[in-house]
Every structure is written in C-alpha cells, then in structure tokens.
Chains A and B, each alone.
Chain A
C-alpha cells in the first residue's frame, strides 16, 4: 500500500482517457499521459492537432469557451481537477501559465509581479518586496530591471517582457508552469535566455511547453509528446523521439515530411 502511494507520487500530472469536444468537434481523443515532477515535457504537432487545447486542460482555461465538454480524468497531485470540488483560482495559482505573446499589464515592472499577490489579498509590503525580488531573480531579469522597478513594463523589450511574465507567474509560487510557445515571438538571444531559464526552473517546477520549434523541444525537454488530429501519437524520452521515433507519423513530422 505504501509502495503504491510512492509510485503515485512520482507523477505530478496525469490524464486518463481524456476526451475534449468543442461542440461537435472532437479535439482530444483519449489522451493518456503521466508526467513526472520536476521535468519538462514538450508538446509538439502541427497546428490544430490539439496540443494547445491539451495544455489549457491543466489550468481549466478551456472552461471559458462555450460548448466545451471534457471526459476522462485530469489529475494534478493526484486530485482530479474537474471532478473534485476545487477552487479554480487556487488551481490557477498552482498551475501558472506563460503565453505566446508577452502580455504584461500596463503597470510598473514591480506591480506586474506583485499583482498576483495583491489579488490573493496579500498587502504586507516587505513580503511583497521580497517576493518580487526573488521572482525577478528566478526569471533572470533582476539584474536588468532592479534600478527601474517603478518604470512601465511596456518599456521593456519583448524578451524582457516575456521574462517578466514568467516572474509574474512565479510570484504566486505555482508548482506547475504551462508555456504556450513562450519564445516564438522572440529573437534568438532572448529565446536562448528563456530556454536557459526553463532548465533552471526545472529544478523546482514541473513544466509543460507547447512549441513549434523542433530544435527547441529537443533542447529544453526531457519528454516529448507528439499530437496529430487530436490523438497522442507518441510520447517518450525526447532523445528517443528525435533519434529513433517508433511511429512513422512522428518521424514524418519531425523530419518535415508531413502531408
């Protein structure tokens, strides 16, 4: 019994026979995945394959779309986030998200990072100061912004804005970070910084990243899941997926022979 619990604990996130419909459209078809704690999982596949939909399952972002129906189970820390009575704001605190386009609030750098804390009712200035500094440091942005915390976040470069968004996500201390093409709008240097950051954040967080960049998936992830037409075609160690994928469809996709 104790052993069973031990095994369960190693998986941070699991989906079992997960189906998702947008009205009549069957967007996810029976997805079974188990993701270990402190790993990076890359979701790859052509546009419309369901990878972003799948990513949004974990913080219930799809709930905002009308006509969505979800079947199967989604476990985060062994709790079914759809069946059990859980508070969505708590879930979203635990499962943070970084989007494709940097989306800082039109506020100061400091307030951007403090925002999540404030909406959670925290007002202690020292506590917030400390958390802002720590989050910016974790997001590898502190050195660049420590002298201009009161300046507008909109004045930062795209790459800095994206790291600010990561800092904002980290401030509320999530354990899972979802990233939806976090570097696709950035130049190669900013991209390299984000990737470096992902490597560091992996020590403390479980990260799931959607990317269209095959080399990026190879560089940052431990495991890779390939989606096609709403199905999970292959899920395995990134090294194996990129050297000898088992499924010919995976091979066709990653080698650019699709369609």
Chain B
C-alpha cells in the first residue's frame, strides 16, 4: 500500500468517525424529545465541539494530502469529495445542535400527541437511515447504496411540506399550545435540511466512485 493510500484510508476512517458522531447527535435529539429528557439535549450541545474539531482536522488533512501527494484521478476525486462531505457533516451537526437548543428552549416537554401529528419519529428515522446509507456506501465504495439516499430524501420533503398545514390547523383549533407548534415546526425544518445535506454527501460519494456529477441534475 502506498503512503497516499494509507492517508486516504485514514481520512476514510475520520469521515466514518464523524458520520457516526453526527448520527449519534441526531438519535440523541430524538431520544431527548421522545423521553422528555433535557439532559440528553444538553449532551448534544456539549458534543457539538467535538464535531467542529473533527471538521478542522479533516480539512487540514485534506490540505496536506493535496500539498504533499498531488493526488490525481480517483484519489483527487476522493479528496475533493471528502472536503465537501466534511462541510455537510458539520452542518448536520449544527442542525442537531439547533434541534437540541429548541428542546432546551421549551421549558417543559413536548406533548406526545403533537410529536405524533408532526410525524417526528418517522422524520428522525428516515434522516438517520439516510446517514447510515451514506456511511455504508462510503466504506464499501458502493454507489448503488448512495443512490438509495437520494430516494429517501423525498419522504422528508413530503413530511416537511405537510408540517405547514398541520401547524395551521393546530393553531386554529388549540392556539394555547402554539409555542410547541412553532418549535416542532422548526425541528421539522431542520431535519429537512439534514436530509438535503445527507443527499449532498451521497452525491459526492457518487462523484468519487463514478466520476459523475449529479448536482443540480435530475438525480435518477
């Protein structure tokens, strides 16, 4: 194995670590809501620093590989993809942090009937399974798996669109819980962003493996 291959493997491991970390951040947000546990949300906020540190490390390592190894072809595509995947992972981390802050902002806990109405569990599960698919597709260099992510994003978009109507109906019928509606709607919006960011990552993985650019195109 060449030195460059070793460096690339190290970067792949760092990306996996970071993906696992932001995945954990998302599942913790879900737990905090489902189990009415603000302590977990506070944990997410504390862990955000670790995500940021990893982002800086991956950026620096990519810069070094470019400067020292002059990567070309698949190696160059990997480094370019890594830089963008890194940015998107950090933003997913930011969104998890934002969700955690909403949870803490609401001094009480969310009512379970509302959590259900907003399809929050489904939203979280889909987002997390998309993150799972991206990591698997990167580790196994499987672009088919990455394409699955693109399909799953539709579900998040649908729930996100419905959330507006759900909110309007709820405000009309029971305005006294409006603080919860607004925070839940904000959480849904953040999860929708997570879906987009995960989709960006999947596109970068496909670029790395197949040298095809899917950005701003009909995905299938």
Chain A contributes a number of interface residues (CB within 8 A of B) equal to 13
Contact-residue size bin, chain B (C-beta under 8 Å from the other chain): 10 to 19
Q: Are A244 and B211 in contact (CB-based, < 8 A)? A: yes
Give the docked Cα–Cα distance between A118 and B4 (Å): 52
Does A149 have its Cβ within 8 Å of any Cβ on chain B? no
Q: Are A255 and B70 in contact (CB-based, < 8 A)? A: no
Q: Which of B71-79, B84-92, B97-105 contacts A (4 or more CB under 8 A)?
A: B71-79
Q: Are B2 and A251 in contact (CB-based, < 8 A)? A: no
Does A126 have its Cβ within 8 Å of any Cβ on chain B? no
Does B5 have its Cβ within 8 Å of any Cβ on chain A? yes
- Summed over the interface, the residue pairs from A and B with CB atoms below 8 Å come to a total of 32
The residues of B that contact A254 with a CB separation of less than 8 Å are 72-73
A41-59 Cβ-contact flags toward B at 8 Å (1 or 0): 0000000000000000000
The residues of B that contact A251 with a CB separation of less than 8 Å are 73-74
The residue of chain A having its C-beta at the shortest distance from the C-beta of B74 within the complex is: A251
Question: Contacts A243-B77, A244-B77: A214 and B72 contacting too (C-beta < 8 A)?
Answer: yes
A230-251 Cβ-contact flags toward B at 8 Å (1 or 0): 0000000000001111000011
B1-17 Cβ-contact flags toward A at 8 Å (1 or 0): 01011000000000000
Q: Are B4 and A242 in contact (CB-based, < 8 A)? A: no
Give the docked Cα–Cα distance between A255 and B78 (Å): 12
The residues of B that contact A243 with a CB separation of less than 8 Å are 72-73, 76-77, 211
The residues of B that contact A250 with a CB separation of less than 8 Å are 73
The residues of B that contact A5 with a CB separation of less than 8 Å are none
Does A66 have its Cβ within 8 Å of any Cβ on chain B? no
Give the docked Cα–Cα distance between A244 and B72 (Å): 9
Task: With both chains docked as a complex, state the minimum distance between the C-beta of A169 and any C-beta of chain B, in angstroms.
Answer: 30
Does A256 have its Cβ within 8 Å of any Cβ on chain B? yes
Task: With both chains docked as a complex, state the minimum distance between the C-beta of A211 and any C-beta of chain B, in angstroms.
Answer: 14
The residues of A that contact B72 with a CB separation of less than 8 Å are 214, 218, 242-243, 254-255
Top 9 closest pairs, chain A to chain B, by CB: A244-B211, A242-B72, A251-B73, A254-B72, A255-B75, A256-B2, A255-B73, A245-B73, A215-B70
- Give A contacts to B, CB under 8 Å: 214-215, 218, 242-245, 250-251, 254-257
- Give B contacts to A, CB under 8 Å: 2, 4-5, 70-77, 211
Ordered by A's residue number, 19 sampled pairs between the chains whose C-beta atoms are within 8 Å are A214-B70, A215-B70, A218-B72, A242-B76, A243-B72, A243-B73, A243-B76, A244-B74, A244-B77, A244-B211, A245-B73, A251-B73, A254-B72, A255-B4, A255-B72, A255-B74, A256-B2, A256-B4, A257-B2
